[in-house]
Amino acid sequence: MSRIQPFCDRIAQSRQFQLSIFGVILLNAVVLGLETYDSIATEWGDTLFLLNEIFLGIFIIEILIRIAAYGNRPQDYFKQGWNIFDFVVVFAVFIPGVRENALLLRLVRLLRVVRVISIFPDLRVLVSGMGKALRPIAAMGALTVLFLFFYGMIGVQLFGEELPERWDNIGTAMLTLFTVLTLEGWNEILFTAQEVTRFAWVFFVSFVLIGSFLVINVLIAIIITSVEEAREAERAEEIEERLSLAAAEGEEPDLLASLIDRVSGMRTSLHELEVELGALDLSEHSPKPDDT
C-alpha cells in the first residue's frame, strides 16, 4: 500500500488525468445525445450500449484510483461532498432494479455528465457559491416581492380604471411590474400609461432605477461575495486535506503549517486594521469640545 498510495496520488492530482476524465464525460454526453435519435438508436443501439459500459468501467477505475490515493485512510475520501456525489453517481447503476428500469438507467447515466462540475475546482467553487447565496437571495427575493407589492398598489390606484388589462388588481399589477423589472418592452407600458397621466414617467423611472438597477446590483454583489467565500472554503479544505494526508503518512507538514499560520496572521492583521480604521473614522466624526 505504501507504494500504491503515492502512485495513485500522483495520477489523481495530475492535470492529464483530470483532462482525460473530462474527455470521457464529454464522450458520454455525446453518446447519451445520440441515443435520443430513434434512427441512430435502432441501428447503433448495441454499440452505444457497449460504449456506455466502457465509460462506466473507466469511471469505476477513476473512483478506485482516487480512493487508493488516500492510502491507509480510504474513508477520508468520503469526507468531501463532491467525492460522495461522484461515488453515488457512478455506483448507482449497481443498485438492484436500476438496470431493469430504462428511465432510471438513463437518469443515472445523465448524472454522470454532471460530474464535470466535480472535476474542475472553478466549477465546484461556482456551484458552492450559488448554494451559499441561496439564503441571502431568498431574503432579497422577499424584499423584491414587497417592493413589487408596494409599487403594484400604487399602479392599481393610478391606472386601474383606464388600463384594467394591466392594472386591474394587485396580481395583474405585480405581473406587469415584473415585466418592467426585466426591462423587456417596458417603454411600451410606459407610453400607454402616459396617456392616462403625464406624470406616469415618475412612477416608472423611479421603479426602474430602484428595481432594475439597485436590486439587480445587490443580487450580483451577493453572488460574488458567496463565490469568494466558497473559494476560500475550497482552499482551506484543500490545505486541511494535505495536512491530513501528510500526518497519515507520518510526515512533518512544516510548510503547510507555516502557510496556514501566515494566512491566519494576515487575516488577524486585516481585522485589526479594519477596527483601527473604524475607530479613527468615529473619532473624526465625534463632537469636539469648544476651546476655552
The candidate with the shortest Cα–Cα distance to 118, out of 104, 128, 133, is 128
In this prediction, residue 150 carries a pLDDT of: 93
pLDDT tens string 210-268: 887 777 788 788 778 777 777 777 676 666 666 665 555 555 555 555 555 555 556 55
DSSP 184: S
Distances, alpha carbon 99 to alpha carbons 45, 102, 103, 105, 234, in Å: 16, 7, 9, 6, 35
- Asked if 136 and 222 touch (Cβ cutoff 8 Å), the reply is yes
pLDDT of amino acid 261: 54
pLDDT at 57 exceeding the cut of 90: yes
- Pick from 154, 75, 94, 84: which is nearest to 115 by CA? 84
User: Mind listing the pLDDT tens digit for each residue in 188-218?
Assistant: 888 888 888 888 889 998 998 888 777 778 8
* Distance separating alpha carbons of residues 189 and 176, to the nearest angstrom: 8
| DSSP H helices in 133-185 | 134-159, 164-167, 170-181
| Best mean pLDDT range from 21-25, 73-77, 115-119 | 21-25
Residue-wise over 148-166: b if at least 16 C-beta within 10 A, else e? beebbeebbebbbeebeeb
For 93-106, how does the pLDDT look when each residue is reduced to its tens digit (9 = 90+)?
Answer: 888 888 878 888 88
d(CA 106, CA 98): 9
Q: Write the pLDDT tens digit of every residue in 125-152.
A: 777 777 777 788 888 888 889 999 999 9
Q: Write out the three cell numbers for 123.
A: 466549477
